[in-house]
Structure formats: C-alpha cells, structure tokens
Amino acid sequence: MSLRGGSTSTMLGAVANELRGPIGVWLDVSEQYPASIGARDVKTLAQLCHVDCVVVASNDQKARQHAQIVEALLSGERVTLENDVAVLDGAYSRPAPPQPIVVWWREGDQLLNDEQTLNQSNSSNTADVDVEVFS
C-alpha cells in the first residue's frame, strides 16, 4: 500500500480496521524529512496497526546511517549515537512501538539489515504503481 500526498498516519488510521495482518513501511528520508521524524511517524503508525518492518531509503547513499537512527529511536530507550547523518545525545522517543519492528535499509538493488540481505528479483512500473520484489 502506498499512501502519498497527505498525512500518512491519518490516511492509514482511516483504513486500519480493514488491514489483515502486519504491514511494512517504506521511508524515503532526506534533509526535508529526516530519519528522526520518520521514526516518530513509524511509531505513530504502529499504534494504529501492526507494523512489522520498515525500509529506509535515501538519495544520499547513507541509508544505513539513517536506518541506525530509525532503529535506535524505535527502541524506546535513551539514545546517544553519532554517525554521518545525525548526532543524538540523550534523545528518546517513547513509548516504544507495541511490537518489535525490523529495520531494513536500501542499497542499490538490495534490502539489508544486520542479519539478512534481499536482492531485487523483479520490478514493474505503470502510470500509477511501482512494484519491486525482493527475495
């Protein structure tokens, strides 16, 4: 499901009762939409429905560093972390989501996390829908 052009939390909240099973969230982070705000939005969505994973993508070739920020802020713990995209000193975002959320990042044609790599196996584009399959 792709929700664009409005408040994702509001739109998803409107259809949350119709969802059957967990969903994944794709975050395109940037200077205008930093990972810290993305983490806040994922936490909000996780209160409305079962979010089990998030993929962090960026155009600056630093998706892994952005993903570190998202993962740290989803922990509900106080975070002190410095990398190429952010400095967090005693930051926290509470409460933690009601269930664990696996954080992935995109590098080229791959989705990665600390335990697994998925390769893009198929993609298709139409006027309204972009579909990418990773396995």
Cα gap 103→39, rounded to integer Å: 10
pLDDT at 23: 85
When pLDDT is averaged across residues 13-37 and rounded to a whole number, the result is 83
Q: Which domain, by its residues, includes 58? A: 22-109
Alpha-carbon Rg for the chain in angstroms: 15
pLDDT at 93: 84
When pLDDT is averaged across residues 96-100 and rounded to a whole number, the result is 91
**Tokens read off for 12:** 């998803």
Query: Is 118 part of a structural domain of the chain?
Result: no
In one letter, which amino acid is 27? L
Number of domains in the chain: 1
State what percent of residues in the chain have pLDDT above 70.
88
Cα gap 16→23, rounded to integer Å: 10
pLDDT at 134 over 50: yes
Please provide the average confidence, as pLDDT, over all residues in the chain: 87
pLDDT at 103: 97
Question: Do 63 and 55 touch, CB atoms closer than 8 A?
Answer: no
pLDDT at 25: 87
Query: Is 7 part of a structural domain of the chain?
Result: no
Q: What is the DSSP string of the chain?
A: ----SS-HHHHHHHHGGG--S-EEEEEEE-SSS-HHHHHHHHHHHHHHS-EEEEEEEETTS-HHHHHHHHHHHHT-S-EEEE-SS-EEEEE---SPPSS--EEEEEETTEEE-SS-EEEEEEEEE-SS-EEEEE-
Query: Is 128 part of a structural domain of the chain?
Result: no
